[in-house]
Structure 1
Amino acid sequence: MRLGTRRSALATTQSTWVADRLRALGHEVELVEITTAGDRDRTTPLATLGGTGVFVSALRDALRDGTVDLAVHSLKDLPTTPEDDLVVAGIPQREDPRDALVARDGLTLGELPAGSTVGTGSPRRRAQLEALGLGLELRELRGNVDTRLAKVADGELDAVVLAQAGLSRLSRTSVVTEVLDPIQMLPAPGQGALAVEVRAADTATRTAVAALDDADTRACVVAERAVLAELEAGCSAPIGALAEIVLGDDGDELSLRVVVASLDGTGELRRSATGLPADAERVGRALARLLIEDGAADLAPLTPSTPNATERDQ
């Protein structure tokens, strides 16, 4: 099987992780590097460059033209609108979905003095940091993990915020000065999870990849992405979501928390819901509609779908 991957260190590490698990199941796997628009342009803010999907299109093109048989994505990069000819056949067990702070002098978020410069390329992170009212100076940030970390090491920035999952996969967690509590900052929908996408008609590859699927992770990310789908929002919208499988009175229960915030931090809505893991899609969409009823569209650039919209497969 030819596995398509972006060329960054994080992407190839993630893809190698998937390839090794497929090899352990007896499959032969070859990595094929693909360059995406997001890799070619590392300076333009992602929301301007194209937002959700900027790291995905080239990999999908390679799938469609037969250059590769499967592609590994960071799930948070995938648009929520399904593709008729492609399917996410496997979502392996999720890494830590939280955000992480890497700051000078080992400082935590609360210890950074007012006026400290903090780098992030994420509207979601920016909005939630602003809402905390810490007086931080937020700077636009692009580039791979090492490029971002170098901004702190060289003294150009006082801190950066990155996904804990990426740092863990690269064995770089020693640089983390604080893993941010979701009470302070909810992660991006799907953060920490991988999506292994294949051609819908390729039943052999679909079957092989399905062996990697983790049911709890899939339920959680389906709920989180259902929020985005119902709001018709992408990575340019400051939305955080985190679903977890917890033990309820009658067994496993899905617990979902969502935040919609204004970019300048002047307002935010946080809401939560619970339901059965099997109802993940419904739980996410219902919570999104509640957010709209409570005024989410006044805070963020959303285009909510109608309440009776057909639910999409995730």
Structure 2
Amino acid sequence: MSRIIRIGTRDSELALWQAKTVQRALSNFNYESELVPVKSTGDLNLEQPLYEMGITGIFTKTLDVAMIKGEVDIAVHSMKDVPTALPNGIVEAAVLQRASSKDILIHKGVQFLESEGIIATGSLRRKAQWLHKYPKHQVTDLRGNVNTRLKKLEESNWDGAIFAAAGLERIELKPENYIDLNWMVPAPAQGAMLVVAMEHDDFCKNALAQLNHKDSEICVHTEREFLKVLEGGCTAPIGALAKIQKETLHFKGALFSLDGSKKIEVEKAVLTKDVENFGRSCAEIILNNGGRELMAEIKSVLNN
């Protein structure tokens, strides 16, 4: 191909791994590309919890600006970091085949699970679910890329920290001392990679369409629709997971209070041919079962 596609990416080890994966996939279809790494606001400020920074899309905004300014042609994201509403002019171009959606606990021994302990995570969703299961534990904030967080855990007095399995597996940093948190509902689109392009750029959109994995796309779109209807622009402890088995999509979603004491959940299934608006209908079940009041309570606390 005559045109070289400029791939925008964050400059962390995991983000570069993801961008190189897209680069290799494009190469398989004879497209030339080059990586253009940038540093996001979320990577520069590691002192504040994400929800306190009040910026939607804190890990994607810098790349959005680079695309709109014409400095890069496409951008590769961990899809769970992408706001449910993309900026004007930017569109989803490919969802790659999803990796593991699990959360895992990296620990220094599991004896603390039966007593008191300190767990680290920068996620409201993980914090709320941990406290729901282990209300006597303390949860402390943890920020930074995967390598930074692993180092902070090693040097701390914490008993463990929660990570996405996919991120550790992709850059081969998953240690032996971990537990699968099968009971924890993952973030919507966790484990999925999204590539975005400019709406008017047919060349890039056509190239990326060849990388799209349809079943993964259906699942993450259902989860993100659920998230969008529930959160209304507010960060909240929301988990969602959709899986396709044969012709049926199985969905589980949950909303928690910030302290983990309250949990509202939904489990439903639908034929994949009838999946349109299914995420919305699952979110409405949550909202009509006390979710509206709980979301108002969460917004009140986070906005003060």
Whether TM-score is above 0.5 comes out as: yes
SS of equivalent residue, structure 2 residue 32: coil
1:90/1:209 contact within 8 Å kept: yes
Q: What's the offset of the Cα at 1:111?
A: 5.7
1:238 paired residue number: 237
How far apart in 1 are the matches of 2:296 and 2:79?
A: 22
1:232/1:303 contact within 8 Å kept: no
How far apart in 1 are the matches of 2:231 and 2:265?
A: 18
Residue by residue over 1:211-258, the C-alpha shift from the partner in whole angstroms, topping out at 9 and shown as x without a partner, is: 1100000000010000111123457200000000013xxxx1111100
1:49 aligned onto 2:50: no
Q: Tell me which amino acid in the other structure corresponds to 1:142.
A: R
How far apart in 1 are the matches of 2:146 and 2:292?
A: 33
SS of equivalent residue, structure 2 residue 116: coil
- 272, 277, 280: which one aligns with 1:285: 280
Q: Tell me which amino acid in the other structure corresponds to 2:238.
A: I
1:14 aligned onto 2:9: no
SS of equivalent residue, structure 1 residue 173: coil
1:190 paired residue number: 189
2:64/2:87 contact within 8 Å kept: no
1:297 paired residue number: 292
SS of equivalent residue, structure 1 residue 299: helix
How far apart in 1 are the matches of 2:119 and 2:231?
A: 29
1:58 aligned onto 2:58: no
- 253, 262, 271: which one aligns with 1:267: 262
What RMSD in Å do the two structures reach over aligned CA positions? 1.9
SS of equivalent residue, structure 1 residue 270: strand
How far apart in 1 are the matches of 2:193 and 2:8?
A: 13
How far apart in 2 are the matches of 1:94 and 1:209?
A: 16
1:211 paired residue number: 210
1:37 paired residue number: 41
Q: What's the offset of the Cα at 1:175?
A: 4.0
Give identity over the alignment, percent.
Answer: 37
Q: Tell me which amino acid in the other structure corresponds to 1:201.
A: H
Against the structure 1 CA distance between its residues 235 and 122, is the aligned structure 2 distance closer, same or farther, given a 3 Å change threshold?
farther
Against the structure 1 CA distance between its residues 135 and 228, is the aligned structure 2 distance closer, same or farther, given a 3 Å change threshold?
same
SS of equivalent residue, structure 1 residue 222: helix
Structure 2: 5+ residue stretches without partners: 300-304
1:68 aligned onto 2:67: no
Against the structure 1 CA distance between its residues 302 and 222, is the aligned structure 2 distance closer, same or farther, given a 3 Å change threshold?
farther
Q: Tell me which amino acid in the other structure corresponds to 2:285.
A: L
1:309 paired residue number: none
1:151 paired residue number: 152
How far apart in 2 are the matches of 1:34 and 1:6?
A: 5
Structure 2 counterparts to residues 171-182 of structure 1, below 5 A: 171-181=172-182
Could you list the structure 1 runs, at least 4 aligned residues long, displaced by more than 6 angstroms after superposition.
Answer: none
How far apart in 2 are the matches of 1:84 and 1:295?
A: 33
1:79 paired residue number: 83
How far apart in 2 are the matches of 1:40 and 1:287?
A: 36
Against the structure 1 CA distance between its residues 54 and 255, is the aligned structure 2 distance closer, same or farther, given a 3 Å change threshold?
same
2:302 paired residue number: none
2:108/2:177 contact within 8 Å kept: no
Give the alignment's TM-score, normalised by structure 1: 0.89
How far apart in 1 are the matches of 2:69 and 2:219?
A: 31
Against the structure 1 CA distance between its residues 282 and 303, is the aligned structure 2 distance closer, same or farther, given a 3 Å change threshold?
farther
Q: What's the offset of the Cα at 1:174?
A: 2.7
How far apart in 2 are the matches of 1:303 and 1:290?
A: 18
**Once structures 1 and 2 are overlaid, which stretch shifts more, 170-179 or 255-264?**
170-179
Structure 1: 5+ residue stretches without partners: 305-314
SS of equivalent residue, structure 2 residue 222: helix
Q: Tell me which amino acid in the other structure corresponds to 1:191.
A: Q
Against the structure 1 CA distance between its residues 141 and 130, is the aligned structure 2 distance closer, same or farther, given a 3 Å change threshold?
same
How far apart in 2 are the matches of 1:177 and 1:303?
A: 31
1:104 paired residue number: 108
